[in-house]
Structure 1
Amino acid sequence: MRRIFIIASVACLNVLLLAAQPQKSQPAASAIDKKVDALIAKMTLEEKVGQMTEVTSDVVSTTTNDVHQIDAAKIKEAILKYHVGSILNVSGHAYDRKHWFEVISAIQQEAAQDRLKIPVIYGIDAIHGVTYTTGSTLFPQEIAMAATFNKEIAYKAGEITAYETRASYIPWNYSPVLDLGKSPLWPRIYETFGEDPYLIKTMGASIIKGYQGNDVGDKYHVAACMKHYLGYGDPLSGKDRTPAWIPDRYMREYFLPPFAEAVKAGARTLMINSGEINGVPLHASKYMLTDVLRGELHFDGIAVTDWRDIEYLHDRHHIAATQKDAVMIAVNAGVDMSMVPYEYSFYNYLIELVHEGKVSMARINEAVHRILKVKYELGLFERPVGNPDDYPKFGSDEFKQVSVQAATEAITLLKNNNNILPLKKGMKVFVTGPTANTMRALDGGWSYTWQGDQSDKFAANKNTILEAIQQKTGKDNVSYEPGAAFDSLQNINDAVKAAKKADVIVLCLGELSYTENVGNIDDLNLPWAQTQLAMELAKTGKPVILVLAEGRPRIVTQAESLSAATVMTYLSGNEGGDALASILFGDANPSGKLPFTYPKYANSLNNYYRKNLENGNPDDKHGYNPLYEFGFGLSYTTFGYSNLHLSKPDLKENETLTVTVDVKNTGQVEGKESVLLYTSQSYASISPDYKRLRAYDKVSLKPGETKTVTFKIIAKDLAFVNDVSKTVTEAGEFKIQVGDQTQNFNYISNTVPSRTGKL
């Protein structure tokens, strides 16, 4: 039985059949490396394994009548008995800075009582601002940030989030999510930067640089944690933490690049995908965690598990016959730290495994070295808590304005028949729908609580969509009836009566907050009650402005067909209501573009880059036919593209192709335009993508103004992963597309033959 299990385990761990690339020679030890080595030399096995152990704050806390505090006996057990190296924040709700100071101080004071006085690293999900600290600046969720196509905003949001996280005395942020938001059903798509690998990797790298700055150890920056490595965002069922089937070629082409870019950007930590790919749980994959992550990407930071995922190798995935075997498999695969999270079995099992020779001391030392190095880099040995007086900008109006800008640039105008928008102030506006008067529909999950279900309480001083419209055009000009809850009608007759008295209807549909498995759904269609509300309101003959406040693209085709204008707000954060009102009434000009392909039908889910292959037969009407395409978004002005110019007709290896295009504001209103550059290859050794985003920039133009936008393209930008999982740029004909402008050029390779027969 034991022999069979071992054979099965080996088979599982080698499903992805590619040899690892040779590792680079190790660089000379830095001053921090030498400090770490000296400390490790003093440590017992028990102290080392304790550093690899992460427990939830619940393990060391008590909460009575909503009063939370560190429990003296529990923290003593965690630190002095088990030498726990990390604690993560999970349950409860947001606290003020004073409470966070007390919590972190109590933890670090106990750590200072341990023999070697190694500080604890506290981690938290500050994924769109410091979501667990009251009074903080909450930004749009990542999917909305992606819609800005503005890397500078991502950087600023990261920088402010880092500042306010350190102001909460916490040095480790479990962000950004770099998963490919490929499956619209998946409940965490709103935590991603969308469906395009290039958009994800560039926005992700920008926010990481904002989080970590030039010195991750200063008092204003935090360690980023890129997650969830790898392939988490494309479960076959669309449900959270369920199996994915992803060939190695696809993994490398679409899923791996954002993580490779994040490593280059300096991300110090990484969280592992909870699911399995092709039958192999990522927490058990030496190929992915060691051969690829360490050998190919050269990541040298901490690899931490997600929630209970070592336990699940036994309980859920059934590749480990016992919990002890699960620990052995995961640690040997490359896991450095286990998010246990409730007890100390990992600690006990790992010590036994080392004594039994089933996990080497070298593997333990390697993991502990990475953990301690990050702690030194963060300055925790010198400054384990921080000074409350060092953060005068926390929750400031300066920070708020960045969130306002982000929300404004994210909101995407999808339809504007007869230029009904912007609305005139003083019009009689009827506001309705389940997302109209709740902050949950603006903030989403991970907002004050895990599920974001208390946002109306904690963000009571912020404006819902209804309140923002009332403030913008005057309460006397605005009427309101809910019309429907999320999945049931509510006072619909009253809603219809009120609508008949208005000049225009603002119908707010979509979703309330959720995350992870709680957000799993069986039907991507918008709940029928919301569609019914749209149908009844349309019968009044009054123009309907459809506002979609949602974390994923729900199927809204029938309701959307009845609107005069459609506006996508995504989950635009605490300032999203005000940003939307400014756009609806023309005080701001929309400039967002979709970071995903918006499907028309629940069973027709496509990504833009495989458009050509989705149609099969040219006469097939059931192929690629989305409601709105990736990169689509309207403005209150118009933009014209001209003079697309390539610096040379042929691009050779080790050369750069300079691409310029003129963009002109041809309308009457100042506006911003995201300029997207795509490339496509005519023929290749595998079916080439229809087109791929390779560069983008955002420009602001006054009426009549023209700007020349410049991009640089090199051979690597044209590369793809071939049928033997090698990244190549094949010679042949390519097309550049920017707006409605196209130009062809040839790539000439000295090593890879052409598939066109022309070169």
Structure 2
Amino acid sequence: MTGHSVNAQETNKAIESKVKNLLSQMTLEEKVGQMTQVDFTVIGVPKEQNAEDQIDPAKLEDAVLKHHVGSILNTPFTPDNKAQSIDIWRKMMRTVQDAAARTRLKIPVIYGIDAIHGATYTQNSVLFPQAINMAATFNSDLAFKEGEITAREVRASGQQWNFSTVMDIGRQPLWPRLWETFGEDVHLATVMGTAYIKGHQGDDFSAADKLPTCLKHYVGYSYPLNGKDRTPAWIGERMLREYFLPTFEAGVKAGAPTVMVNSAEVDGIPGHANHHYLTTILRGELGFKGFTVSDWADIERLYTRDKMAASPKEAVKIAVMAGIDMSMVPFDFSFYDLLVDLVKSGEVPMSRIDEAVSRILTVKYQAGLFEPKPLLPIEGNFATAEAIETNRQAARESIVLAKNEHNILPLKKDANILVTGPTANLLSAMNGGWTVSWQGATEELYPQEKLTVLEAIQEKATGKVTYVGGDAFDAPIDVQKVIDEAKDHDVILLSLGEHPYTETPGNIETLNLDQAQVDLANAAIATGKPVVLLTLGGRPRIITSIAERASGVILGFLPGMEGGEAIADILYGDYNPNGKLPISYPRNTNGITPYDYKPIESFESNIYNPLYPFGHGLSYTTFETSDLKVEKEKINIGENINVTVNVKNTGSLKGKETVLVYINDVAASVTRPNKQLKAFKKVELNPGQSESLSFTLTPRDLSFIGVDLKRIVEPGDFKVMVGNEMVGFTVTK
């Protein structure tokens, strides 16, 4: 046993003893207060007052001293939240903790924020590409660094808990939170999410520059049948265990101490009422020891929306008994009042309250909140040159070059470029929701020194750059002017996509682009000039007819604050693109089939025919894989198997390539996908250079959820696939 694990055990025992001791001194009201989380508006001055001090002392006292509130979340001015300066955050956090220090037992408040791609509500923070882009990098080192930088910057602003990372997998492209996921593949999402958590928390998330994470949104939230946010998912338990639980299991193993619960319902049971998911599986099977927090107002919604409870009081009882430890109420003390009544009447046992509060207090001790450290110095910990460069590299690696006909790209710096389209000159279009504001759409709140795509092109170009487009997403674009201007330009950069959004406001009826964008595209293509299509936005909007006629296609998704410069770097060849799609890009709005489809989905007239497949992404150089081998032709159940393959840069430029290793279980008692990603490595190679890569496949990689809903490995034949090669091996009893 290592010294570290001995120390960890000693620390856990010491915390357990402290929690027990503290719990024994607490009144019922103090305990229920710990289970209560309120929004900033409950303690804030009304937004129209524009006071210098945004916290109302009387309201703060009511929340923390009278109602014993254990957690506060969000930024001032909900719901039109906007970023505060780091100094204001630090001042507010001191005010909140000073109030907690005046309580009888001096239990600190844990303050939570949605810092999902950097410190989203702190001005001038380093805002990374969103998760869908981070997945496209296939670079877990970048995910680790993003976690480190985010934790450091959130800590520097004084906040103590990050509602990140999203471990849902994105297999429904209509869903307006697709971009918050690491894509459609279980293995990719597991690797990237785990790396982020480890960077964010380190070995000890009480460290001055670390922070506890929160797994979202347990479980099945991301697969609504109709594609709309907070609508039912129809997922059987086998599929749940095969596709949706493994990422959360990995997050628990990586040490995430908190879990936020699915706002919607799966198989007829709302997430906040699902004892089987929240207690039997999460606690009993996955071994989760931390605490669960509800999502926004979702306990009350068991009564108001889901009609599961006959009263608000019954809704509280159902949720707490199902396994919810903390309620994001968020605007009042109703949960507190109702739960106190429920315990007094004997409807909720004190043992359940003690269990929930012990979990919450344990995380507060683990996070070091009872022994507050001085706030991190801002200098050297916030928006450092190194962090900004890491962000720019993440943006570069996240951009997918999907088409490059006749090597239209990279462009020459002296080329005359006509730039048009609604996403070309907006920072918001590259960042999406949870950026400065909740929906991320208020362009004037963005840091003006950051460059849009247009501005970054203008900085690099020596040729003429002309822009035809409105200053806002919904501003009409003069199509005739585009046609007239095209005559004097060598190439048209057509920048299309979506306005920013998240959650329910992002619900749409179709993946088709707005007709105005289609009309603009048709006019640009009709000029006969080469067109490079750039898309920005959180979902794969349908671009098939445009992409087929364009000379080049760049899929940008949401590359963050450095996205403009990263895209310009790629357009001009200052950076060799290496991003790969973490989703299947649909050809048509209803052509939704993930890459790991079942045999029946590619049988007779059924085909997997996306516009661009999972893992697709071009480079300005070329790569080949060869000599794929397995170490043995036969292994016993329970053994690992080693796989080797060579990869070579066969082109004329230095570049990075991600080698993807897939397997297929040839015949099984439950139908198996045609292939599943089980390993990947990203390597950088000079022209002509080759490298031999080795991978180890474990019994877990060969397993699946069997007929009895248990994970098993069956004897039989397996195939390993890399590039155009395939080799086989057999598992014997």
State if a TM-score over 0.5 links the two structures.
yes
Deviation at residue 484 of structure 1 after TM alignment: 10
CA contact (8 A) 2:598 2:671 kept: no
Aligned partner of 2:622: which letter?
Answer: T
- Seen in structure 2, the aligned counterparts of structure 1 residues 654 and 469 have a Cα distance that, compared at 3 Å, is same
Deviation at residue 389 of structure 1 after TM alignment: 2.4
Q: TM-score, normalised by structure 1?
A: 0.93
Aligned partner of 1:691: which letter?
Answer: K
3-state SS in 2 of match to 1:119 = coil
Match of 1:541 in 2: 528
Aligned partner of 1:665: which letter?
Answer: N
Match of 2:4 in 1: none
Which of 642, 664, 667 aligns to 1:680? It is: 664
Deviation string 1:24-69 (CA, Å, 9 cap, x unpaired) is: xxx9961111111110010000000000000000110012355461
Match of 1:640 in 2: 624
Match of 1:521 in 2: 508
Match of 1:126 in 2: 115
Match of 1:96 in 2: 85
Which of 561, 564, 571 aligns to 1:574? It is: 561
Matched, 1:691 2:675: yes
Comparing 146-155 and 68-77, the one that deviates more: 68-77
Match of 2:64 in 1: 79
Deviation at residue 274 of structure 1 after TM alignment: 0.3
CA contact (8 A) 2:598 2:672 kept: no
Matched, 1:491 2:474: no
Comparing 64-73 and 668-677, the one that deviates more: 64-73
Matched, 1:398 2:386: yes
CA contact (8 A) 1:486 1:530 kept: no
CA contact (8 A) 1:484 1:529 kept: no
> Structure 2: how far apart are the matches of 1:389 and 1:556?
47
3-state SS in 1 of match to 2:370 = coil
Which of 638, 641, 656 aligns to 1:654? It is: 638
Deviation string 1:719-751 (CA, Å, 9 cap, x unpaired) is: 1112321111111111101112211111123xx
Aligned partner of 1:560: which letter?
Answer: A
3-state SS in 1 of match to 2:183 = coil
Match of 2:3 in 1: none
Match of 2:353 in 1: 364
Matched, 1:471 2:456: no
- Seen in structure 2, the aligned counterparts of structure 1 residues 168 and 492 have a Cα distance that, compared at 3 Å, is same
Deviation string 1:516-565 (CA, Å, 9 cap, x unpaired) is: 00100011111111111111011111100000111011111122122101
The number of residue pairs the alignment matches comes to 718
- Seen in structure 2, the aligned counterparts of structure 1 residues 535 and 120 have a Cα distance that, compared at 3 Å, is same
Which of 658, 667, 687 aligns to 1:703? It is: 687
3-state SS in 2 of match to 1:289 = helix
Comparing 523-532 and 69-78, the one that deviates more: 523-532
Deviation string 1:474-498 (CA, Å, 9 cap, x unpaired) is: 4x52000017975674211112111
Deviation at residue 392 of structure 1 after TM alignment: 2.2
Match of 1:214 in 2: 203
Match of 1:37 in 2: 20
Match of 1:198 in 2: 187
Aligned partner of 1:459: which letter?
Answer: P
Matched, 1:439 2:423: no
3-state SS in 2 of match to 1:609 = coil
- Superposition pairs of residues 165-204 of structure 1, within 5 angstroms: 165-204=154-193
Aligned partner of 1:41: which letter?
Answer: S
Match of 2:5 in 1: none
CA contact (8 A) 1:185 1:238 kept: yes
Match of 1:501 in 2: 488
Q: TM-score, normalised by structure 2?
A: 0.96
Match of 1:229 in 2: 218
> Structure 2: how far apart are the matches of 1:549 and 1:712?
36
Matched, 1:51 2:38: no
Deviation at residue 227 of structure 1 after TM alignment: 0.4
Matched, 1:349 2:333: no
Which of 408, 416, 422 aligns to 1:420? It is: 408
Comparing 660-669 and 646-655, the one that deviates more: 646-655
Match of 1:261 in 2: 250
Which of 557, 562, 581 aligns to 2:544? It is: 557
- Superposition pairs of residues 276-315 of structure 1, within 5 angstroms: 276-315=265-304
Identity of aligned residues (%): 50
Aligned partner of 1:86: which letter?
Answer: S
Aligned partner of 2:199: which letter?
Answer: G
Match of 1:4 in 2: none
- Superposition pairs of residues 624-635 of structure 1, within 5 angstroms: 624-635=608-619
Aligned partner of 1:181: which letter?
Answer: G
CA contact (8 A) 2:113 2:162 kept: yes
> Structure 1: how far apart are the matches of 2:599 and 2:485?
47
Match of 1:735 in 2: 719
CA contact (8 A) 2:155 2:375 kept: no
> Structure 1: how far apart are the matches of 2:427 and 2:475?
19
CA contact (8 A) 1:143 1:192 kept: yes
Deviation at residue 674 of structure 1 after TM alignment: 0.7
Aligned partner of 2:642: which letter?
Answer: T
- Aligned CA-pair RMSD: 1.4
> Structure 1: how far apart are the matches of 2:706 and 2:488?
61
3-state SS in 2 of match to 1:139 = coil
CA contact (8 A) 1:486 1:510 kept: no
Aligned partner of 1:100: which letter?
Answer: W
> Structure 1: how far apart are the matches of 2:608 and 2:476?
33
Deviation string 1:94-125 (CA, Å, 9 cap, x unpaired) is: 01111001111111111111100111000000
> Structure 1: how far apart are the matches of 2:49 and 2:692?
61
3-state SS in 1 of match to 2:54 = strand
3-state SS in 1 of match to 2:663 = strand
Match of 1:24 in 2: none
3-state SS in 2 of match to 1:610 = coil
- Superposition pairs of residues 308-327 of structure 1, within 5 angstroms: 308-327=297-316
> Structure 2: how far apart are the matches of 1:512 and 1:728?
45
Aligned partner of 2:15: which letter?
Answer: I
Deviation string 1:308-349 (CA, Å, 9 cap, x unpaired) is: 000000011111000000000100110000000000111011
- Seen in structure 2, the aligned counterparts of structure 1 residues 493 and 390 have a Cα distance that, compared at 3 Å, is closer
CA contact (8 A) 2:93 2:158 kept: yes
CA contact (8 A) 2:121 2:437 kept: yes
CA contact (8 A) 2:427 2:446 kept: no
CA contact (8 A) 1:535 1:562 kept: no
Deviation at residue 211 of structure 1 after TM alignment: 0.9
Deviation at residue 512 of structure 1 after TM alignment: 1.4
> Structure 1: how far apart are the matches of 2:336 and 2:446?
37
3-state SS in 2 of match to 1:170 = coil
